[in-house]
Amino acid sequence: MSPARPPAVRRLSTLCLALLALAAPAAAQADTRLEAVAALQAKAVEWRRDLHQHPELGNQETRTAQVVADHLRSLGLDAHTGIGPTGVIAVLKGARPGPRIALRADMDALPVTEATGLPFASTARATYRGQDVGVMHACGHDMHVAILMGVAEALAGMRDQLAGEVVFVFQPAEEGPPEPGEVFGARRMLDEGAFEPGRYLDGPPDAILGLHVWAGLHTGQLGFRAGPSLASADEWSLTVTGRQTHGSRPWDGVDPITVGAQILLATQSMIARQINIVNTPVVLTAGQFQSGVRFNIIPDDARLVGTLRTYDADVRQDVIDRFERIATGYAEAAGASAGLQVVNNAPATINDPELARRVLPSLQATVGADNVIEMPLQTIAEDFSQFANAVPGAYFFVGTTAAGEDPERMPINHSPHYAPDEAALEVGMRAMLRATLDLLDGAQAGR
């Protein structure tokens, strides 16, 4: 998940009342099968701290994958490893037939030097894109892995009572592959047959659930919304080619810097004037603008690199088409040329409306309806969307800011100071377990 200051969350709005009306438990409801989780909390803390001290960058999660596979095998599951390239998949078959529910956790850490000062802080280092960097679970994926290991143990203990199958998916490289332009973890696992019938699973999952720890919510709170939730993320690169000349005599050449600036400003006008942003917000940002070597030389070319965020595949393509026309038109008008390349890192994460209708009551039953916060749209992205585009998906947030602290002021995901409250492990395990059991039971309204 890419870095972003979480916007203020708000209480469930009237928008969500229709969903609430379907099944609205006033407070957390007991399910004796969830009692297993309390006994797993101490283990989950231990797993999480071990993972935290041994963070691994994307596609290098070999130790993490081994820890996961060893655990799954200790539960009697057949763990498949080396998928895309370090992913792990295992299937828990219940005693009776029923739906096939996939649960996903991402395993990778970030090139961040930890500054939490915790006794189990990471001191790991690695080479990232040619630089020596600190490595830290600054996005909390160590929490995700520990939560799913715990859920697997709880479910394995009640295998005889289950109708259906649970598929555990531990994926690499959610934050991206080691080199730009390579395929992200979820896409690569799918490309390598993760959901292909007969490969690891008998058939594609009926649904997939994912979660993310989140400093913007208190421990004990869950965040969720139906429909579009997280943005798509594209990395774009624009090259403007002009003709080099003396900075005092611009008429002798073609200035690519001015043309690049015009194109960038025109994209902002395009979004404001040409795109219907009421239903589908769009963000187009340049993060790099590189050109030239000296104050009095107009260089040959300029390069702009940035990101595009949308919530709709058609809008995304429309913006890219307009961006290309703007780039070509402005360049041509100035006697320059321009080339735009766009690489999609993740599609928009869209919570399947029907699945969301079934998962929301499970989340409410876990923590109480008042503690399920309707999340605003997030302009961050998640490659969980690749799985959720393959089968119906639902993705929720697990608060990690302890009571008494202000979620708005706490170090957020990707910060070197991000230190999630470990009590959130138990909340995450309960929510994931409850949602899974309810989907298997078909006990929810509307099934």
Shortest reach from residue 367's CB to Zn ion, in Å: 21
Tokens of residue 236, six digits: 């774009």
Scanning 72-80, 94-102, 139-147, 302-310 for contacts with Zn ion by CB under 5 A, the matching segment is: 139-147
Q: For Zn ion, which residue of 34, 40, 83, 139 counts as binding (CB under 5 A)?
A: 139
Counting contacts by CB under 5 A, is residue 230 touching Zn ion? no
Q: Which is nearer to Zn ion, 28 or 139 (CB)?
A: 139
Work out whether 145 is an interface residue with Zn ion (CB under 5 A).
Answer: no
Query: Is position 252 annotated as part of the catalytic site?
Result: no
- Determine which helix (DSSP H) or strand (DSSP E) holds 264, and give its type and residue range: helix 256-274
359 touches Zn ion (CB under 5 A) = no
Catalytic: which of 142, 174, 312, 438? 174
Q: Is residue 105 close enough to count as binding Zn ion by CB under 5 A?
A: no
Given 108, 234, 352, 438, the catalytic residue: 108
What secondary structure does DSSP assign to 193-252, as a single string? TTT-BTTTBSS--SEEEEEEEEEEEETT-EEE-SEEEE-EEEEEEEEEE-B-EETT-GGG
Q: Which of 49, 42, 44, 1 is nearest to 148 (CA)?
A: 44
Question: Contact, 101 vs 167, CB < 8 A?
Answer: yes
The region of 134-142, 221-229, 269-277, 419-427 touching Zn ion under the rule CB under 5 A is 134-142
DSSP lists the bridge partners of residue 350 as 228
Q: Which is nearer to Zn ion, 68 or 261 (CB)?
A: 68
For the bound state, the minimum distance from the C-beta of residue 214 to Zn ion, rounded and expressed in Å, comes to 9
Segment contacting Zn ion by CB under 5 A, of 138-146, 242-250, 301-309, 404-412: 138-146
Residue 81 Cβ vs Zn ion, minimum distance, rounded to whole Å: 22
Min. distance of Cβ 109 from Zn ion in angstroms? 10
Per rule CB under 5 A, is residue 211 in the interface with Zn ion?
no
DSSP character at residue 27:
S
Select 153 or 383, whichever has its Cβ closest to Zn ion. Answer: 383
Interface with Zn ion, residue 209, by CB under 5 A:
no
Structure tokens that stand for 292 in this block: 């030239």
Sign for the pseudo-dihedral over CA of 364, 367, 368, 373? negative
**C-beta of 94 vs 420, nearer to Zn ion:** 420
Smallest distance from the beta carbon of 139 to Zn ion, in angstroms? 3
Listed in sequence order, the residues at least 6 apart from 11 whose beta carbon sits closer than 8 Å to its beta carbon are: 373, 374
By the rule CB under 5 A, 112 interacts with Zn ion: no
Q: Is 441 among the residues known to form the active site?
A: no
Question: Rule CB under 5 A: is residue 381 a binding residue for Zn ion?
Answer: no
Burial class (CB in 10 A: 0-12, 13-18, 19+), 70: exposed
Radius of gyration of the chain (CA): 24
Q: Is 388 in the site for Zn ion (CB under 5 A)?
A: no
The CB-of-89 to Zn ion minimum distance in angstroms stands at: 20
Decide: is 1 part of the binding site for Zn ion (CB under 5 A). yes
The b/e string for 361-378 (b: 16+ C-beta within 10 A; e otherwise) is bbbbbbbbbebbbbbbbb
- Residues touching Zn ion: how many (CB under 5 A)? 2
Establish if 143 lies at the interface with Zn ion (CB under 5 A).
Answer: no
State the Cα angle at 158 between 157 and 159, rounded to 5°: 100
| Phi-psi domain of 220 (left: phi exceeds 0; alpha: psi -120 through 50; beta: other) | left
C-alpha distances (whole Å) from 245 to each of 45, 197, 252, 293, 302 are 62, 61, 6, 12, 14
Q: Which is nearer to Zn ion, 171 or 444 (CB)?
A: 171
Residue closer to Zn ion by CB (options 1, 103) is: 1
- 180 vs 335, which CB is nearer to Zn ion? 180
Report the nearest approach of Zn ion to the CB of residue 183 (Å). 17
Sign of CA dihedral 224, 372, 40, 94: negative
Catalytic site positions: 108, 174
**Chain contacts with Zn ion (rule: CB under 5 A):** 1, 139
